[in-house]
């Protein structure tokens, strides 16, 4: 069969000025499979007229300098990471043709996860995987594809499956995934095999050009130097004799007919729509209020709110901060986050201030809201003398130990239950707190619900809960 | 413009969107996950890319890939994830690729915990990965700055073709405050012509960090060092509070600087003339400003939520001219203003 590999196609440079030394020859050893594979890929890119759109990712390995040769856009990647780099560049340039060119150490050892995950995402990239059963660049150490009993500098007694496991069959592994469109293993050991390799390379690139998804061609390839064969051409026999029996050539997956083309990004909305799409309000209802008329202890509150997860402790804090913001005050809300929340208790620090807030941490609180007993026990001691202590008496059957603070007991859970859902207990407390202190008018709280309440259908119920809490305090203050 | 009550972590993504960031690659980790979640929620709606990568290693290499294409892109994580990103950050520095990395620091070493800490200072500010490189590091201390400094980070990254970190702690990430988003400044996502776009114009571009010849690599390194000196000369940002007549200088960044602001107020009430110097860029570091203070203040107290990492840079700047004291809390404990005041009183 006629072989065209020596003719330099248009996607391959005529000489290699990026290279040190003799720029007319490649840096590969005589008989190296990389050089042959390069030419086949370049030829396919030219024939399919893809070179102009192509971006090649060079790996770490002997082909680290693939960019000396390919007349395409080039990126050199970290060891094993080419499929992740390819993902990034492809997503940024969805119309480009992205090639991840990798050796077996690069792809199947250090980059094992990156290749599997890129394949699994069905990235529209093409991977050319050069399997030469050895680490060429670093001087012939064992690769994940090194054959059983094969001697390398790090398996000097031959690969021992009990110590280093068996060679990894990448095509077989990856073809078990749902997403990949086309996966084939080919070999370079004779001209018939090379003809098939050429076809597979072309097909893999076509899959990408058609936007169908992920394609990979594994190429069994000679490393005369690493294998320490007598002369370069012996490596062809070596492939046939040792590699082919373990790494059968053939198509492992081919969905090219069925796969539907797809685009990553369908449309980009105009810039003017951006704020709305990312929930940035273009106007707000902020007024500049003042706390001057409030009794001293209620000004610039430093609030600690605590209770069981599910009692709406964190959202009560958010609500107070949101209302403070609407009154033109500086506000902060800081949650307890993480496992302690999962354990059941949650608390948050809320500050509403006429001045710039320094530390958002509430250590000496002026207001403490305890929605359950453990919260009361834990946080009442933080209150400053004269501070306001609100307890949810539905869940707390003890009296506070602090006698130097103002105590506002309220059966919030029961009151919420009468409204139909104990989850409104936090809004009952909000109403009571606002009525008690006058920090924010109730009307603002009703407006605020439209901002801080995520489930808009519950706005009427929450409004009622706020009102009920406020009424409870008014009645109490009126001595009823 | 309107005020919005929002978490620092979410403000990062809205700022990034306004700044023309077209791709986010990340892996979930507390206390940074809201950043990925916000990107996952908003980016698809505005024609931008969000990918949950298989690891921080992959995420940062995806950033390397997208940055190679000459577009604005980012990732975010916390301590353990930042450790994994370091390889690709070094590659980005070597190949001179702009990108933004947000680090919401948590407790360490190892898995540590998810409480707020500031113990990534060394691994972030000192480069972190292999090789002779520096990264610009911005240290926000409010939700507003989480937006503003993220936007600024993109500008600096592009200006210097360098990775830029936004470094803060779990408190600043998790806290909600009011933010005014600069909606008038929405920019069209830029695309730089040094990138590989997959077209005829950029066909001969090459993104690489390899320089085989020793002298060429040295030259490349010298160029990088020159760039770092330019950054040091031009991009320093600090914030000061009550420093004009200060006798004791307090220093801290992130949430600590907020606590220290309160400490300064308490100290002044107690008759101690304290002032606060907050590095907004922790690299470049305010070496000159600190040296100026050596002629003014009697002592410097550095407070960190770490074993004392930034304090080493303060001591290098001070060169023994005034005593530099350190107070640190670790493990997720945030020092209170009162507690630091006690330390101040005992100095
Ligand atoms: C993180 C990292 N670890 C190790 C190396 C050293 N290294 C360079 S190439 C290579 C092996 C490459 O082998 P393979 O992928 O099979 O490619 P080949 O050279 O055989 O083409 C190794 C281990 C590196 N550059 N980076
Ligand atoms: S060492 Fe092997 S893989 Fe590397 S260039 Fe030589 S023959 Fe090719």
Assess if residue A120 is contained within a domain: yes
Q: Is the pLDDT confidence value at A3 over 60?
A: no
Query: What are the tens digits of pLDDT across the range A286-317?
Result: 999 999 999 999 999 999 999 998 899 999 99
Residues B12 and B118 in one domain: yes
Burial class for A446, CB neighbours closer than 10 Å (0-12, 13-18, 19+): middle
pLDDT in tens, chain B (347 residues): 699 999 999 999 999 999 999 999 999 999 999 999 999 999 999 999 999 999 999 999 999 999 999 999 999 999 999 999 999 999 999 999 999 999 999 999 999 999 999 999 999 999 899 999 999 999 999 999 999 999 999 999 999 999 999 999 999 999 999 999 998 878 899 999 999 999 999 999 999 999 999 999 999 999 999 999 999 999 999 999 999 999 999 999 999 999 999 999 999 999 999 999 999 999 999 999 999 999 999 999 999 999 999 999 999 999 999 999 999 999 999 999 999 999 999 99
Ligand nearest to the CA of A128: 1
Residue A332: closest CA among A302, A296, A294, A376: A302
Residue B194: closest CA among B275, B83, B96: B96
**Angle, CA A91 vertex, CA A89 and CA A95 arms, to 5°:** 90
The secondary structure of A311-372 as a DSSP string is: S-HHHHHHHHHHHHHHTT-EEEEEE--SHHHHTTEEEEEEEEESS-------SSEEEEEESS
**A108 Cα to the center of ligand 1, angstroms:** 11
Residue A137: closest CA among A221, A225, A219: A225
**Which CATH number goes with the domain that contains B200?**
3.40.50.970
Assess if residue A3 is contained within a domain: no
CA-CA distance, A152 to A228, in Å (whole number)?
Answer: 9
Interstrand relation of A345-353 and A330-335 (parallel, antiparallel or unpaired): antiparallel
The secondary structure of B276-336 as a DSSP string is: EEEESEEES--HHHHHHHHTT-SEEEEEESSSSSHHHHHHHHHTTSS-EEEEE--TTPPPP
Ligand 1 mutation pick, A133, A137, A143, max ligand atoms within 8 A of CB: A137
Q: Is the pLDDT confidence value at A376 over 50?
A: yes
Residues A315 and A448 in one domain: yes
The confidence score (pLDDT) of residue A128 equals 98
Ligand 1 mutation pick, A60, A77, A224, max ligand atoms within 8 A of CB: A60
The confidence score (pLDDT) of residue B52 equals 98
Residues A437 and A352 in one domain: yes
CA-CA distance, A171 to A129, in Å (whole number)?
Answer: 10
| Ligand 1 pocket member A138 (CB < 6 A) | yes
Residues A234 and A312 in one domain: no
Interstrand relation of B299-304 and B113-116 (parallel, antiparallel or unpaired): unpaired
**CA-based nearest residue in chain B for residue A85:** B65
Cross-chain residue pair A359–B262, CB shorter than 8 Å: yes
Residues B226 and B307 in one domain: no
Strand partners, B49: B23
Last residue in a domain, options A254, A277, A295: A254
The answer for A 274-313 residues in CB contact with B (under 8 A) is 274-275, 277-284, 286
Residues A207 and A151 in one domain: yes
Residues A109 and A182 in one domain: yes
**Which CATH number goes with the domain that contains A94?**
3.40.50.970
C-beta neighbour count of A211 within 10 angstroms: 15
Number of structural domains in chain B: 2
The confidence score (pLDDT) of residue B127 equals 84
The answer for A 395-454 residues in CB contact with B (under 8 A) is 451-452
Query: What are the tens digits of pLDDT across the range B256-291?
Result: 999 999 999 999 999 999 999 999 999 999 999 999
Cross-chain residue pair A325–B178, CB shorter than 8 Å: yes
Using only the alpha carbons of chain A, give its radius of gyration: 35
The residues, ordered by sequence, that sit 6+ positions from A403 with a Cβ below 8 Å of its Cβ are none
Cross-chain residue pair A76–B63, CB shorter than 8 Å: no
How many Cα atoms sit within 13 Å of A125 on the Cβ side?
Answer: 33
Distance between A246 CA and the closest CA of chain B, angstroms: 30
Residues A452 and A393 in one domain: yes
**Which CATH number goes with the domain that contains A353?**
3.40.920.10
Query: What are the tens digits of pLDDT across the range A204-226?
Result: 999 999 999 999 999 999 999 99
Cross-chain residue pair B65–A337, CB shorter than 8 Å: no
pLDDT confidence of A1, banded at 50, 70, 90?
very low
Residues B59 and B73 in one domain: yes
Strand partners, A332: A351, B177
CA-CA distance, B273 to B275, in Å (whole number)?
Answer: 7
Assess if residue A271 is contained within a domain: no
Assess if residue A265 is contained within a domain: no
**Complex-level ipTM:** 0.96
- Taking a C-beta distance cutoff of 8 angstroms, is the pair A137, A128 a contact? no
Assess if residue A341 is contained within a domain: yes
The confidence score (pLDDT) of residue B184 equals 82
**Which CATH number goes with the domain that contains B246?**
3.40.50.920
Q: Is the pLDDT confidence value at A285 over 90?
A: no
Residues B287 and B187 in one domain: no
The residues, ordered by sequence, that sit 6+ positions from B219 with a Cβ below 8 Å of its Cβ are B211
Assess if residue A279 is contained within a domain: no
Residues B20 and B111 in one domain: yes
Give me the residue from A76, A113, A281 closest to B2, CB to CB: A281
Q: Supply the DSSP symbol for A120.
A: H
Q: Given strand A250-254, what is the order of strands in its sheet?
A: A250-254, A182-187, A215-220, A126-131, A97-103, A54-58, A73-76, B206-207
Contacts 24+ apart (CB under 8 A), B269-272: B270/B341, B270/B345, B272/B247, B272/B248, B272/B344, B272/B345
Distance between A329 CA and the closest CA of chain B, angstroms: 10
The answer for A 39-68 residues in CB contact with B (under 8 A) is 51-55, 57-58, 64-65, 67
Residues B268 and B208 in one domain: no
Residue A141: closest CA among A106, A114, A111: A106
Residues B22 and B158 in one domain: yes
Residues A312 and A195 in one domain: no
Q: Is the pLDDT confidence value at A5 over 60?
A: no
Distance between B287 CA and the closest CA of chain A, angstroms: 25
Residues A224 and A305 in one domain: no
Residues B107 and B69 in one domain: yes
| Ligand 1 pocket member A141 (CB < 6 A) | no
Cross-chain residue pair A92–B186, CB shorter than 8 Å: no
| Ligand 1 pocket member A393 (CB < 6 A) | no
Q: Judge whether A166 is closer than 8 Å to chain B, CB to CB.
A: no
Interstrand relation of B206-207 and A215-220 (parallel, antiparallel or unpaired): unpaired
Secondary structure percentages of chain B, helix, strand, coil, to 5: 45, 20, 35
Residues A333 and A415 in one domain: yes
CA A196 to chain centre: 38
Residues B286 and B229 in one domain: no
Number of structural domains in chain A: 2
Residues A87 and A214 in one domain: yes
Residues B203 and B120 in one domain: yes
pLDDT confidence of A477, banded at 50, 70, 90?
confident
Cα separation values, B295 from A409, B246, B249, B276, B292, Å: 56, 11, 12, 16, 6
Distance between A450 CA and the closest CA of chain B, angstroms: 13
SS3 A443: helix
Residue A239: closest CA among A186, A199, A202: A186
Assess if residue A5 is contained within a domain: no
- Taking a C-beta distance cutoff of 8 angstroms, is the pair A178, A212 a contact? no
SS3 B236: coil
Residues B162 and B195 in one domain: yes
**A64 Cα to the center of ligand 1, angstroms:** 9
Residues A309 and A399 in one domain: yes
Q: Is the pLDDT confidence value at A2 over 50?
A: no
The confidence score (pLDDT) of residue A345 equals 80
Range of the structural domain that residue B50 is part of: 3-234
Interstrand relation of A365-370 and A215-220 (parallel, antiparallel or unpaired): unpaired
Last residue in a domain, options B234, B260, B280: B234
Ligand nearest to the CA of A135: 1
**CA-based nearest residue in chain A for residue B208:** A76
Cross-chain residue pair A81–B58, CB shorter than 8 Å: yes
CA B144 to chain centre: 14
Residues A297 and A169 in one domain: no
CA A413 to chain centre: 40
CA-CA distance, A72 to A76, in Å (whole number)?
Answer: 13
Range of the structural domain that residue A217 is part of: 34-254
Tell me the pTM: 0.96
Range list of β-strands (E), A189-323: 215-220, 250-254, 302-308
- Taking a C-beta distance cutoff of 8 angstroms, is the pair A226, A136 a contact? yes
Assess if residue A17 is contained within a domain: no
- Taking a C-beta distance cutoff of 8 angstroms, is the pair A427, A465 a contact? yes
Phi then psi dihedrals of residue B68, to 5 deg: -60, -25
Closest protein CA for atom 3 of ligand 1: A79
Last residue in a domain, options B201, B234, B267: B234
Closest protein CA for atom 13 of ligand 1: A135
Partners of A330 on chain B (C-beta within 8 Å) are 178
Distance between B289 CA and the closest CA of chain A, angstroms: 23
How many helices (DSSP H) and strands (DSSP E) are in chain B? Answer: 12, 16
Peptide bond into B109 cis (omega under 30): yes
Residues B205 and B254 in one domain: no
Torsion of CA A394, A398, A399, A402, to 10 degrees: -120
**CA-based nearest residue in chain B for residue A96:** B198
Peptide bond into A268 cis (omega under 30): no
Range list of β-strands (E), A188-322: 215-220, 250-254, 302-308
**Angle, CA A137 vertex, CA A134 and CA A143 arms, to 5°:** 25
The confidence score (pLDDT) of residue A342 equals 54
Last residue in a domain, options B214, B234, B254: B234
Instruction: Check residues B35 and A20 and name the one with the higher pLDDT.
Output: B35
Cα separation values, A385 from A312, B37, B269, Å: 27, 42, 19
């Amino acid at each position: 069969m006629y072989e065209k590999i020596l003719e330099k196609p248009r996607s391959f440079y005529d000489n290699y000025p990026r290279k040190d030394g003799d720029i007319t020859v490649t840096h590969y050893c005589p008989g190296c499979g990389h050089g042959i594979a390069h030419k086949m890929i370049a030829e396919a890119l030219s024939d399919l007229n893809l070179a102009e759109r192509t971006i090649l990712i060079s790996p770490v390995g002997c082909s680290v300098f693939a960019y000396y040769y390919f007349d395409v856009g080039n990126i050199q990647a970290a060891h094993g990471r080419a499929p992740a780099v390819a993902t990034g560049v492809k997503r940024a340039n969805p119309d480009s043709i992205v090639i991840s060119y990798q050796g077996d150490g690069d792809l199947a050892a250090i980059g094992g996860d990156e290749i599997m995950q890129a394949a699994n995402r069905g990235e529209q990239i093409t991977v050319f995987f050069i399997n030469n059963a050895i680490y060429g660049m670093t001087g012939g150490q064992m690769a994940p594809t090194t054959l059983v009993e094969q001697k390398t500098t790090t398996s000097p007694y031959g690969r021992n499956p009990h110590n280093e496991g068996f060679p990894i069959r990448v095509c077989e592994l990856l073809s078990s995934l749902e997403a990949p469109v086309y996966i084939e293993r080919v070999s370079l050991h004779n001209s018939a095999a090379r003809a098939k390799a050429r076809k597979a390379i072309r097909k893999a690139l076509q899959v990408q050009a058609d936007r169908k998804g992920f394609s990979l061609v594994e190429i069994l390839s000679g490393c005369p130097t690493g294998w320490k064969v007598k002369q370069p051409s012996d490596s062809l026999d070596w492939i046939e004799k040792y590699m082919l029996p373990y790494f059968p050539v053939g198509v492992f997956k081919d969905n090219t007919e069925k796969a539907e083309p797809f685009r990553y990004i369908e449309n980009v909305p105009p810039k003017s729509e951006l704020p709305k799409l990312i929930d940035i309000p273009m106007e707000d209802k902020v007024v500049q209020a003042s706390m001057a008329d409030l009794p001293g202890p209620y000004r610039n509150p430093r609030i600690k709110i605590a209770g069981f997860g599910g009692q709406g402790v964190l959202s009560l804090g958010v609500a107070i901060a949101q209302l403070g913001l609407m009154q033109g005050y500086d506000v902060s809300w800081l949650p307890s986050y993480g496992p302690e929340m999962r354990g059941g208790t949650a608390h948050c620090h809320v500050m509403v201030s006429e001045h710039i807030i320094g530390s958002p941490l509430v250590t000496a609180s002026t207001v403490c809201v305890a929605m359950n007993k453990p919260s009361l026990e834990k946080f009442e001691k933080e209150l400053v003398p004269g501070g306001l202590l609100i307890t949810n008496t539905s869940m707390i059957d003890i009296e506070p130990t602090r006698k130097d603070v103002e105590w506002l007991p309220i059966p919030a859970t029961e009151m919420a239950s009468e409204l139909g859902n104990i989850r409104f207990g936090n809004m009952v407390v909000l109403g009571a707190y606002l009525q008690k202190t006058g920090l924010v008018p109730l009307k603002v709280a009703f407006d605020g619900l439209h901002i801080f309440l995520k489930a808009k259908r519950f706005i009427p119920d929450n409004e009622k809960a706020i009102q009920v809490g406020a009424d409870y305090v008014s009645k109490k203050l009126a001595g009823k | 413009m309107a005020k919005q009550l929002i978490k620092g972590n979410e403000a990062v993504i809205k700022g990034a969107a306004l700044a023309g960031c077209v791709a986010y690659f990340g892996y979930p980790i507390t206390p940074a996950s809201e950043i990925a979640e916000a990107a996952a929620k908003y980016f698809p709606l505005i024609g931008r890319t969000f990918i949950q990568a298989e690891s921080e290693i992959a995420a940062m290499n995806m950033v390397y890939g997208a940055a190679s294409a000459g577009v604005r892109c980012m990732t975010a994580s916390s301590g353990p994830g930042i450790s994994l990103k370091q390889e690709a950050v070094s590659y980005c520095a070597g190949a001179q690729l702009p990108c933004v990395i947000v680090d919401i620091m948590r407790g360490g070493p190892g898995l540590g915990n998810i409480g707020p800490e500031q113990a990534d200072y060394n691994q972030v500010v000192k480069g972190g990965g292999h090789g002779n490189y520096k990264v610009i590091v911005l240290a926000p201390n409010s939700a507003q700055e989480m937006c503003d400094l993220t936007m600024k980070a993109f500008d600096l990254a592009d200006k210097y073709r360098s990775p830029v970190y936004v470094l803060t702690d779990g408190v600043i990430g998790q806290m909600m405050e009011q933010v005014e988003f600069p909606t008038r400044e929405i920019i069209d996502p830029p695309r730089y012509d040094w990138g590989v776009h997959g077209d005829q114009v950029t066909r001969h571009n090459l993104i690489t960090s390899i320089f085989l010849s020793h002298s060429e690599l040295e030259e490349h390194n010298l160029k990088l060092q020159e760039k770092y000196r330019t950054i040091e000369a031009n991009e320093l940002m600090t914030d000061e509070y009550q420093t004009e007549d200060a006798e004791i200088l307090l220093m801290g960044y992130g949430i600590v600087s907020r606590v220290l602001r309160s400490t300064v107020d308490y100290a002044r009430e107690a008759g101690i003339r304290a002032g606060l110097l907050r590095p907004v860029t922790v690299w470049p570091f305010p070496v000159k400003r600190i040296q100026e203070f050596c002629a003014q203040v009697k002592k410097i107290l550095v407070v960190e939520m770490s074993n004392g990492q930034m304090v080493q840079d303060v001591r290098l700047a001070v060169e023994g001219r005034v005593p530099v004291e350190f107070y640190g809390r670790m493990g997720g404990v945030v020092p209170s203003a009162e507690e630091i005041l006690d330390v101040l009183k005992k100095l």
